[in-house]
Amino acid sequence: METSRTFNIHFWLNLAKRKQDFAPIYARVTVDGKRAEISLKRQTSVTYWDTNSKKTTSRTPEGKSLNNYIDQVQAKLLECYKQLSSDFELVTANGIKARFLGQDERHKTLLQLITYHNENMVGTLKFGTLKNYYTTENYIKLFLVKKKKLNDIYLKQLSHSFIIDFDQFLRKGPSLNNSQPLKNNGIMKHLERLKKLMNLAVELEWMDKNPFTRFKLKFNKREKAFLSKYELEALENTELKEKGYEIVKDVFIFACYTGLSYIDVKMLVEDNITKGIDGNYWIFTRREKNEQLVKIPLLDNAWKILKKYACHSENNNGLLLPVYSNQKVNTYLKKIADSLNIKKKLTFHSARHTFATTVTLSNGVPIETVSKLLGHTKLSTTQVYARVLEQKVSTDIQDLKNKLEGINKQDEKKPIIAENYFYQT
């Protein structure tokens, strides 16, 4: 037998917080004698407040707007009561208040999810990664306002069509950086972050299902620039007149022979250089990106550059190499490549690709070893770098030919014995 439930909404002025003739307006929700009070974030003149109608009697535009807002609040509170009742959830005054404020677990909004993620990922995700989430958040806010005409949206309202609309908005809408409009892979990165947010919402039980279930992220495969053996040799044998360009060249070459990323080269200190089990010098460090420990034997080409800048650490907090900002380094690399007639879009990350492809894999270093040197947690990540050069293919096939020819020559010396298994007498 269903028990009867009393429900009431009452608007009142909190005179305890009165300042001169003005006092804040509150809504009181009562369910079965239990109360919950909600501030409307509005105030009005005590003189014009009608205690019977629970509205202001002021006929000014401000007064009319305030009364309309009170009506909207009342309608929304009533809707929250109906939602809880229809969902067969426990209906309480505090439950209605939480639903009204968007604070109940089952009715979180998209921006609340983003805020929860960003606040809880501080210290877990690197600043650069979090910065990318902030950019995605800005695009989502812009999409909600421009396309959906909303300031926020409930998670339960998100659907497959929402994802498609956001995808199209990123392709056709305004870019936050007008000088760099979004391309396909940049768009996919924003959608990938939104997908991860949706996965989090499902894990938190704020959503029943992920709207990305039937949406596939489609990245365009791009060839990453790296130096060939001859291009690397040409770069090493080139002396640049301007000191800044010479420094950038040396630091880039150092990365080509160690596979370290920009930030890992920049943060390299003397304590990272130690003798390994073979008695030679190694780099022992943790990758800034994933804190994975990497141990890299120092090749002669890299060791020479460290010795060249041996005095740098004395006045630079122990940092071994003079590394400029990433933007400046990439600008210099472009000009250096042009001067050497290298028709490739070089960035500092190209050094990492050069190490993986030209320095190690093309010289027969197993991909498992290269993966450890690069500090990858998965072998599949290393396969992005694992280009098999034509020269390596040619060498491998020639080795195969030689082996096959050797086998054939041995077979020629053996006597041929024929047996007929089908016709025997």
Contacts (Cβ under 8 Å, ≥6 apart) of 264: 285, 287, 288
Q: Is residue 101 part of a domain?
A: yes
Q: Is residue 159 part of a domain?
A: yes
End-of-domain residue from the set 74, 105, 136: 105
Q: Is residue 423 part of a domain?
A: no
Q: Which two tokens stand for residue 169?
A: 């908005």
Q: Which two tokens stand for residue 46?
A: 């005590």
What share of the chain has pLDDT > 90, as a percent? 55
- Cα 234 from Cα 236, distance rounded (Å): 5
> Band of the pLDDT at 338, cuts 50, 70, 90?
very high
> Band of the pLDDT at 397, cuts 50, 70, 90?
confident
Range of the domain at 55: 7-105
Q: Is residue 195 part of a domain?
A: yes
Chain-wide mean pLDDT for the chain? 86
List the one residue out of 348, 350, 346 whose CA is nearest residue 387: 350
53 lies in the same domain as 164: no
Q: Is residue 216 part of a domain?
A: no
Q: Which two tokens stand for residue 22?
A: 């003005």
Burial 173-188 (b: 16+ CB within 10 A, else e): eeeeeeeeebeeeebb
Output the domain CATH number for residue 307. 1.10.443.10
Contacts (Cβ under 8 Å, ≥6 apart) of 115: none
33 lies in the same domain as 101: yes
pLDDT of res. 387: 58
Query: Residue 418: is its pLDDT beyond 70?
Result: no
> Band of the pLDDT at 146, cuts 50, 70, 90?
very high
pLDDT of res. 412: 60
318 lies in the same domain as 249: yes
158 lies in the same domain as 269: no
239 lies in the same domain as 375: yes
Counting the structural domains of the chain, the total is 3
> Band of the pLDDT at 415, cuts 50, 70, 90?
low
174 lies in the same domain as 122: yes
pLDDT of res. 408: 63
363 lies in the same domain as 270: yes
Q: Which two tokens stand for residue 399?
A: 């080795």
333 lies in the same domain as 317: yes
350 lies in the same domain as 268: yes
Residues 189-204, mean pLDDT to the nearest whole number: 94
Residues 239-246, mean pLDDT to the nearest whole number: 91
Under a CB-based contact definition with an 8 Å cutoff, are residues 49 and 56 in contact?
Answer: yes
> Band of the pLDDT at 419, cuts 50, 70, 90?
very low
Range 46-54, long-range pairs (CB < 8 A, 24+ positions): 46/13, 46/15, 46/18, 46/21, 46/22, 47/21, 49/13, 49/23, 54/10, 54/11, 54/12
pLDDT of res. 2: 47
252 lies in the same domain as 370: yes
pLDDT of res. 423: 43
CA dist list (Å): 116 to 73, 95, 197: 26, 21, 10
End-of-domain residue from the set 90, 105, 120: 105
Under a CB-based contact definition with an 8 Å cutoff, are residues 6 and 33 in contact?
Answer: yes
195 lies in the same domain as 290: no
Q: Is residue 123 part of a domain?
A: yes
pLDDT of res. 26: 96
Most confident by average pLDDT, 205-209, 277-281, 321-325: 321-325
> Band of the pLDDT at 168, cuts 50, 70, 90?
very high
Q: Is residue 265 part of a domain?
A: yes
197 lies in the same domain as 237: no
End-of-domain residue from the set 54, 71, 105: 105
Residues 346-375, mean pLDDT to the nearest whole number: 89
> Band of the pLDDT at 421, cuts 50, 70, 90?
very low
Q: Is residue 219 part of a domain?
A: no
pLDDT of res. 97: 87
pLDDT of res. 64: 94
> Band of the pLDDT at 389, cuts 50, 70, 90?
low
Under a CB-based contact definition with an 8 Å cutoff, are residues 189 and 242 in contact?
Answer: no
Paired sense of beta strands 22-31 and 49-50, if any: unpaired
0.85 exceeded by pTM: no
Query: Residue 141: is its pLDDT beyond 50?
Result: yes
